Chain A
């Protein structure tokens, strides 16, 4: 039997549900399982109702699911909010302080806070208490809990470790003797899984790691959910690795500074969400005009305006693709998960340098905050390609915007001896000085466009998942990959002829595979986390091929495989 169990830890902001989630994830990762964790939280610091949902399996998993097997509730809302999603044979563990009327056998009222106080002498140890209770309910060996608590709290000293272990053990023993229900999962026999992936990462963290591996030397940003952790992480590494960073006065300054740093020769990036990107748009065009590479990360959230600050959507694609006056090349990459995110980050810097253009990484809250355990990232394969550079010898005739066949002029930087670097946001001559000359204007626009063929060959083609051909193809991009992938897998297992065509490199659009798939499949269904199927619009714009059926989610909550399947069924598609 495969194991596929989902835990939902709910409570108010500030109650430490994240910590319980982290602990639980680590226990299972340590024990050799695949985990996928999503965070659902409100835009507030205290109170409200938040949850962390952890799915654990002994086979690879790529999305969260709707059915919950164990609920750990630190507030009434956490019970009420998820009760309907409890699977048959599921269990609800809640703190005894929560008054609850119709108790059923599957409900377990546990003295989490009391034991934390009495045994550990610290309410904060409620996290360890909850962990002990959960592990007992599923009959998992306590030893692993001891290990994980020791690892995590080791830095805080022996006393803290011992306190946490004691609290967890007390709850573990108490639950073993007092819990009368049975959980559908009895993991007593299933001790160790075979998964050896021990790197627990969010999409954002993987991007930050990719950026430092790519030799990012400058980051200027203004905090905005759900992008902020990338900025925080890179600033966290800045002292050790020597990375310049500033929290700017606004996003206009963020991108302006990054462009300045890049103009002077440092690999630069900014991080933001849609609203902040809106402020960056003028500078985006400036970067394009002066052909200065820069990497822009937009972690999307539902808009317009402030929208839902801590939730997810994929509705900035067309905005990213077409923002700014004028016409110029840009690249948009939309990583599906942390594994891909690391590579996307390193590629983004190389592509930006190689083509001397802005490169955008388009994530979303689901991608940004979801946690997976992935294989160790080996950085020895990371390549840093600074693109075409001018030779270092003095050259009084150096022209920053020299017209070349591929549109790319060798770069030099202020400070290079014997060269003058002149750049302008106005239309300029090859030497960078401004001009109104009609012919030069045309040549410079063509220079931009001459880069596109090489960009196209450099970008990765989309991937087919499932059978090479099928009657039905789900068309996806970015973070919706996982839910669609699992939906396709389970439908195919039931005999449906269905596969998935997925894009990471979304812009400029590579069309060959699309044409093939549209010719082969009977129906192509756009599955997007927005209301207008923006990617499908892009496909139609670039190929004339029209997607006729759409599955759209725009409530700010991520898709699940089950949701996609029910939408497909409701639409009579499967």
Chain B
């Protein structure tokens, strides 16, 4: 049993007051407790950014705070070396959709059994508010070209994930604790590549995608009778470019995961497997003329 005390933050949280990351951290803690998995079998892998500091604010859980854009391949290696672990990636929109977009698409295509939580605040928070690949067209920031701002459309992580081959795709909102905890649980338990695009207000830099904005512009997808097994409907929802953002599960199907196609031991994990030197000697001797 995991208790809230076990998860107490090992160090002082450095996020700005009111930051959307707090809601994600709170939801993560609840999900970790509810998951029912031994705590030593959970691993968090994060990239670089405000969001990626999350492993330092949750105690007792294994973690690896990696490189900007690279948590997904690192998590892939961890997962395949020990498939008993539940590997959860925390990544920013800059992390995942700029430096990491290639890895994201390939991980989805491989249907690697990890959960990826994108803290999507539309900005590069930690480097002081530059427009991220998720910033809307026209977003004005200190590095976007002269007004009217970012001269390009944002990356659509949901659509990218669905078309690339992810088998669980959802959108969450940091302000909707209950919904987010449930999505996290479902994503972690899902066998295959699971993505949650989490709307996360950055109160310091983003004056456009605010708490107020999201509170007014989100709606529960579940209530619309959406069929989560229909890829084209899911894509349609992901492409919904109107005034309101659907929140909930967009797409969920079963498909062989990456591990099932890798030469892993039948029993036990790769990490605990040892090659028998006799087999190696045989391979060598078979090469002898």
Does the CB pair B277–A379 fall under 8 Å? yes
Does the CB pair A420–B73 fall under 8 Å? no
CA distance A138 to B151 in the complex (A): 74
Contact of A256 among B65, B77, B284 (CB under 8 A): B77
Contact of A243 among B67, B110, B263 (CB under 8 A): B263
Quote the shortest CB–CB distance from B73 to chain A (angstroms).
Answer: 4
Q: Mark B47-79, 1 if CB is under 8 A from A, else 0.
A: 010000101100111111111001001111111
Q: Mark A250-280, 1 if CB is under 8 A from B, else 0.
A: 1011001111111111101000000000000
CA distance A296 to B40 in the complex (A): 29
CA distance A256 to B274 in the complex (A): 23
Chain A residues within an 8 Å CB radius of B159: none
- In the complex, B5 has a CB within 8 A of chain A: no
Stretch of A9-17, A174-182, A197-205, A493-501 on the interface side = A197-205
Residue of A nearest to B80 (CB): A244
Stretch of A310-318, A410-418, A460-468, A479-487 on the interface side = A410-418
Residue of A nearest to B105 (CB): A249
Q: Mark A184-205, 1 if CB is under 8 A from B, else 0.
A: 0000000000000011110000
CA distance A30 to B81 in the complex (A): 42
- In the complex, B45 has a CB within 8 A of chain A: yes
Given A252-B70, A263-B78, A422-B55, the answer on whether A242 and B102 have CB atoms closer than 8 Å is: no
Does the CB pair A423–B65 fall under 8 Å? yes
Given A212-B275, A256-B77, A415-B41, the answer on whether A426 and B103 have CB atoms closer than 8 Å is: no
CA distance A377 to B80 in the complex (A): 31
Chain B residues within an 8 Å CB radius of A77: none
Chain A residues within an 8 Å CB radius of B75: 260
Does the CB pair A261–B275 fall under 8 Å? no
Chain B residues within an 8 Å CB radius of A242: 263-265, 270, 273, 275
Stretch of A115-123, A233-241, A326-334 on the interface side = A233-241
Quote the shortest CB–CB distance from A411 to chain B (angstroms).
Answer: 12
Chain B residues within an 8 Å CB radius of A380: 277, 281
- In the complex, B262 has a CB within 8 A of chain A: yes
- In the complex, B1 has a CB within 8 A of chain A: no
Q: Mark B2-40, 1 if CB is under 8 A from A, else 0.
A: 000000001100000000000000000000000000101
Beta-carbon contacts under 8 Å, A417-466 to B: 417-426, 431-434
Does the CB pair B288–A260 fall under 8 Å? no
Q: Which of B62, B103, B265, B270 is packed against the most chain A CB atoms within 10 Å?
A: B62
Does the CB pair A260–B74 fall under 8 Å? yes
Does the CB pair A209–B283 fall under 8 Å? yes
Given A249-B103, A417-B38, the answer on whether A425 and B65 have CB atoms closer than 8 Å is: yes
Contact of A376 among B70, B76, B272, B284 (CB under 8 A): B284
- In the complex, A215 has a CB within 8 A of chain B: yes
- In the complex, B279 has a CB within 8 A of chain A: yes
Contact of B65 among A201, A265, A379, A434 (CB under 8 A): A434
Does the CB pair B273–A217 fall under 8 Å? yes
CA distance A215 to B64 in the complex (A): 24
Q: Mark A223-239, 1 if CB is under 8 A from B, else 0.
A: 00000000000000111
Quote the shortest CB–CB distance from B33 to chain A (angstroms).
Answer: 16
Does the CB pair B73–A26 fall under 8 Å? no
Does the CB pair B102–A264 fall under 8 Å? no
Given A256-B77, A262-B77, A414-B43, the answer on whether A244 and B262 have CB atoms closer than 8 Å is: yes
CA distance A40 to B279 in the complex (A): 33
Does the CB pair B270–A282 fall under 8 Å? no
Does the CB pair A420–B61 fall under 8 Å? yes
CA distance A218 to B48 in the complex (A): 25
Count of residues in B whose CB is under 8 Å from the partner chain: 58
Q: Mark B93-113, 1 if CB is under 8 A from A, else 0.
A: 000000000110010001000
Chain B residues within an 8 Å CB radius of A237: 283
CA distance A438 to B259 in the complex (A): 43
- In the complex, B223 has a CB within 8 A of chain A: no
**Interface SS of chain A:** mixed
Quote the shortest CB–CB distance from A432 to chain B (angstroms).
Answer: 8
Contact of B74 among A263, A382, A413, A415 (CB under 8 A): A263
- In the complex, A57 has a CB within 8 A of chain B: no
Beta-carbon contacts under 8 Å, B183-240 to A: none
Chain B residues within an 8 Å CB radius of A252: 70, 73, 103
Contact of B285 among A283, A376, A417, A425 (CB under 8 A): A376
Chain B residues within an 8 Å CB radius of A170: none
Does the CB pair B281–A218 fall under 8 Å? no
Quote the shortest CB–CB distance from B161 to chain A (angstroms).
Answer: 16
Beta-carbon contacts under 8 Å, B131-159 to A: none
Does the CB pair A212–B280 fall under 8 Å? yes
Chain A residues within an 8 Å CB radius of B102: 249-250, 253
Chain A residues within an 8 Å CB radius of B81: 217-218, 244, 260-262, 264-266, 268
Chain B residues within an 8 Å CB radius of A26: 289
15 inter-chain pairs at a CB distance below 8 angstroms, sorted by A residue, are A212-B280, A212-B283, A241-B275, A242-B263, A246-B80, A252-B70, A252-B103, A256-B73, A260-B79, A261-B270, A262-B77, A378-B281, A414-B78, A422-B10, A422-B63
**Nearest 6 CB-CB pairings of A with B:** A260-B77, A265-B271, A264-B81, A261-B77, A256-B73, A257-B77
Known: A198-B289, A256-B70. 12 other contacts (CB 8 A): A200-B289, A216-B275, A264-B77, A264-B79, A266-B270, A268-B81, A282-B67, A414-B62, A422-B56, A422-B63, A433-B56, A434-B53
Interface residues of B (CB under 8 A from A): 10-11, 38, 40-41, 43, 45, 48, 53, 55-56, 59-67, 70, 73-82, 84-85, 102-103, 106, 110, 262-265, 269-275, 277, 279-281, 283-285, 287-289
